[in-house]
Every structure is written in C-alpha cells, then in structure tokens.
C-alpha cells in the first residue's frame, strides 16, 4: 500500500496525542505522556490521562509508539532548480515528511547553484508552497561553486540561507577556506565541508578550524583515518562537528558488486574496518550527526554502466529505520542516544528552532513504532528517484504519524508489513 501524505481538513485543529513514549534526547526526558498541540506549538505535556483539553480536538492514540522531535536532516539534495527530473522541492518535501524528517538543509549544487540571494529566496518560496516540512537552503560558499570567489554570506543569510557549503566540490584553496571560516563564524553560519580526498582534506579543515577558532562541519565521514583525526581534534577542543550516513553503517565496498550503481556514492563505500570505525564514532560521539546525503538520480542515469553512473543514493524515507535496525535493534546504541544524532545534534549545528520537545516549542513531532518491520520498496517511494541501496530489504522501525507546525502531515493507515 503506497503511503500518502495526509492533508488535514481542518488545519488548525488541536490534537491530543495520548499514551506515547516521549523521548526528548536533548533534555533526557523518556516517559509515557500525553501531548496537547494547539496553535502550532506543544501547549501541554502531562502524565497519561491527566489533562483534558477544553473545546474540540482530535485524538491520536500513540500507545506503543515513540514520540520524538521531528528529525532534522542537514544534508539533502533537492535538485531544484535545474534538475527537477530527479527531484523537486515538493517531491523531496514529501519524501522527507514520510521519513519523519520535519526540517532539512538542502545543498546548493543545483543548476544554477544557490550562490545568490534570489536563488536562495526562490527555494524558500517553493518550500513554502509545498508546505510540508521546513526547508533551509544551504548557500554556496563560492560563486558558481567554482572555488575562486566567496559569495556574499551576509546577503545569502538575509535571504534565508542557514549554512554555507560547496558540497560536491572540495574547496581547494586553503587561504580562501580560512577566510570563509572567519566570515561565516562572524555571521553564525556553519560551514559544511565536503572533503575530497576525505582524510587529507579533513585534516586541513581541522587545522583551519583550530587556527581560526572554527567552527567547521565535515560532511559524510566514511573512513577510519578521518574518524581518528576527528577524535583527536575533539579531544584537544577544536570546534569541529561531523556527520555520517546510514549507507556507511550498512554497506562496504564488497556490497557494491551486488547492489550496483545504487551503491555508488561519494565518498565511495569502504572497507569493513572503516564501517566499524564509523559505527564506533557514532557510539562515542566523535561523529555527532546522522544525515542522509539524499542524492536523487533518475533511473535512466543510474542505469548507465557503473563507471558512468552518477554518485549518490536517496535516503530520506529510510533514514530512521536504517538507523534503528543497524544501531538500536543490535544493542549498539540506546534509543535516546541514537535519536540525538537525528534531532538535537543536527538542529544545533544549523541553529534551527527544532530538535527538542517542550511546552511552547514548535509542534514538529515524529511518532514511530520502533519494532515494526517493513520492506523497503523503491518503486513506492515519494521521491522522484528510486536509487536506494536498501531496496528489497526488511528494516525495523516505522514512522506512523508526523506533525509539522502542529499540522498532522503523515498518517500511515496501512503498514506495509513483511
Ligand atoms: Zn558531499
């Protein structure tokens, strides 16, 4: 059964979510409770049955479900403008909300790249029209992502950019990167660095962060050597954060042959020792964030011979279940700690009003059944593209309801059980 996003007939209807297990990784809350949502915020959190709201409201039975802050993904490619045959802001927003992601940062390597206030504002406008999740554009670090001239950071921020990056292309000029880190830090904008080759460039970014006072964020860390650099840098107080992605936790180079081009991404899958190091780094906090690097490509593009197929895999609709299956159901990470990597930690990196549940805070909530098994079927996904390495696999952990700004956006009525 294909899940659909659910448009409420009465968008401002208050909701009482009953008997859910509220996990707020940022505050350490983990308890059964009721949550009353009204006017776009969580108005009341009370022990089960203790609070009866006045007036008319809808009820959601959350018994057996985890209620957590809506997930934040700091690494999504929405392909809009310019490559909307792969994805657009509306389809990407649907994929996000169905995956429990209520806030996302979208990368600037569009056509043209998001290097001007007009282009950044255009993304914000189309996201507002799609009206499903909170979309925060990442502005280009350099004009046309060419690595030569820095963009106008202040103007990009004023237009709505929440971070800066030349993702997809490493910024080779160290002096320019140093200047970028200083200017971005003054504006409070995080710089997200796509490191290529990963470990040498991560070393350079860490040295620059150390010299300038940082901060810097390393995208999609996948190698044992990078993890070791990061761990040492954090131990001496360098302001560096890092993300990895579910595919680096699940797969290695050995899987590439079996899966084909849907396991081709940048950085490429590595060795088992790398995979284990990445898992250990998430466990001990060396890697702060799980992000998708959701990178849609049209089936015809991925159908080319492996060397010609473009890099990237989609990930919004499998993020939570892939994480739960690999890290929670195996006993490697407790649920609150794992959820922290997809809620509080990414929200903090980008300075977003997300990643926490509390009275008076935005009612962005993801409700999921942590145990429910389901089969990933690429053809049923809301994304315009189907390039997932998880196709056909059974994962555990199913998003059931999603609220964004107090609006009930997802309701799985029929779970695609195995
Ligand atoms: Zn990248």
Above 60 in pLDDT, residue 9? no
**CATH code, domain carrying 393:** 2.30.40.10
Nearest Cα to Cα of residue 217 among 185, 189, 245, 193? 193
Q: Are residues 25 and 117 in the same domain?
A: no
CA 165–ligand 1 middle distance (angstroms): 9
pLDDT of residue 412: 81
Q: Are residues 98 and 46 in the same domain?
A: no
pLDDT of residue 303: 95
Q: Are residues 28 and 141 in the same domain?
A: no
Q: Are residues 84 and 95 in the same domain?
A: yes
Q: Are residues 390 and 299 in the same domain?
A: no
Last residue of a domain, which of 299, 323, 350?
A: 350
Tell whether 130 is covered by a domain.
Answer: yes
Q: Are 411 and 375 in contact (CB under 8 A)?
A: no
Q: Are residues 338 and 236 in the same domain?
A: yes
Tell whether 35 is covered by a domain.
Answer: yes
Q: Are 53 and 44 in contact (CB under 8 A)?
A: yes
pLDDT tens digits along 171-226: 999 999 999 999 999 999 999 999 999 999 999 999 999 999 989 999 999 999 99
Q: Are 325 and 12 in contact (CB under 8 A)?
A: no
- Is 293 an active-site residue? yes
**Counted domains in the chain:** 2
Query: Of these residues, 34, 167, 293, 369, which one is catalytic?
Result: 293
Q: Are residues 76 and 62 in the same domain?
A: no
Last residue of a domain, which of 330, 350, 370?
A: 350
Q: How far separated are the first and last CA of the chain, in Å rounded?
A: 12
pTM: 0.96
Q: What helix, strand, coil percent values describe the chain, rounded to 5?
A: 30, 25, 45
Q: Are residues 100 and 20 in the same domain?
A: no
Tell whether 10 is covered by a domain.
Answer: no
Neighbours of ion ligand 1 (CB under 5 A): 167, 194, 219
**For the chain, percent of residues with pLDDT exceeding 70:** 96
> Could you give the CA distance from residue 325 to residue 339 in angstroms, rounded to a whole number?
13
Q: How confident is the model at residue 358 (pLDDT cuts 50, 70, 90)?
A: very high
Q: Are residues 122 and 156 in the same domain?
A: yes
For residue 251, give its domain range: 69-350
Average pLDDT over the chain reads 95
Q: Are 367 and 276 in contact (CB under 8 A)?
A: no
CA 21–ligand 1 middle distance (angstroms): 35
Mean per-residue pLDDT for 267-291? 98
């Amino acid at each position: 059964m294909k899940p659909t996003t659910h448009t409420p007939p009465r968008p401002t209807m208050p909701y009482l979510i009953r008997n859910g297990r509220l996990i707020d990784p940022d505050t350490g809350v983990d308890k059964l409770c009721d949550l009353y949502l009204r006017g776009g915020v969580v108005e009341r959190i009370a022990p089960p049955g203790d609070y009866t709201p006045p007036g008319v409201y809808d009820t959601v039975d959350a018994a057996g479900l985890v209620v957590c802050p809506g997930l934040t993904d700091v690494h999504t490619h929405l392909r809009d403008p310019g490559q909307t045959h792969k994805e657009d802001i509306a389809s990407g927003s649907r994929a996000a909300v169905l995956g429990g992601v209520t806030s996302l940062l979208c990368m600037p390597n569009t056509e043209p790249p998001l290097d001007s206030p007009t282009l950044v504002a255009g993304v914000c406008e189309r996201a507002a029209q799609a009206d499903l999740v909170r979309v925060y554009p990442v502005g280009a670090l350099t004009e046309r992502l060419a690595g030569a001239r820095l963009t106008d950071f202040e103007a990009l921020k004023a237009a709505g950019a929440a971070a800066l990056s030349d993702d997809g292309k490493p910024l080779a000029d160290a002096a320019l990167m140093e200047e970028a880190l200083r200017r971005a830090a003054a504006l409070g904008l995080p710089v997200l660095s796509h490191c290529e080759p990963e470990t040498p460039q991560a070393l350079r970014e860490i040295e620059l962060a150390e010299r300038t006072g940082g901060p810097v964020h390393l995208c999609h860390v996948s190698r044992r050597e990078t993890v070791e650099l990061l761990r040492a840098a954090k131990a001496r107080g360098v302001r560096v954060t890092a993300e990895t992605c579910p595919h680096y936790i699940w797969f290695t180079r050995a899987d590439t042959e079996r899966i084909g081009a849907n396991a081709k991404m940048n950085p490429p899958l590595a060795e088992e020792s790398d995979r284990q190091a990445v898992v250990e780094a998430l466990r001990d906090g060396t890697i702060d964030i799980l992000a998708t690097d959701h990178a849609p490509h049209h089936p015809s593009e991925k159908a080319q011979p492996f060397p010609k197929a473009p890099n990237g895999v989609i990930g919004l609709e499998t993020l939570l279940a892939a994480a739960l299956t690999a890290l929670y159901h195996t006993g490697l990470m407790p649920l609150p700690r794992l959820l922290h990597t997809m809620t509080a930690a990414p929200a903090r990196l980008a300075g977003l009003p997300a990643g926490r549940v509390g009275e008076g805070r935005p009612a962005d909530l993801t409700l999921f059944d942590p145990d429910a098994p389901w089969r990933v079927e690429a053809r049923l996904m809301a994304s315009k593209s189907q390039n997932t390495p998880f196709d056909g696999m059974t994962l555990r952990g199913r998003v059931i309801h999603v609220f964004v700004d107090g609006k009930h956006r997802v309701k799985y009525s029929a779970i695609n059980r195995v």
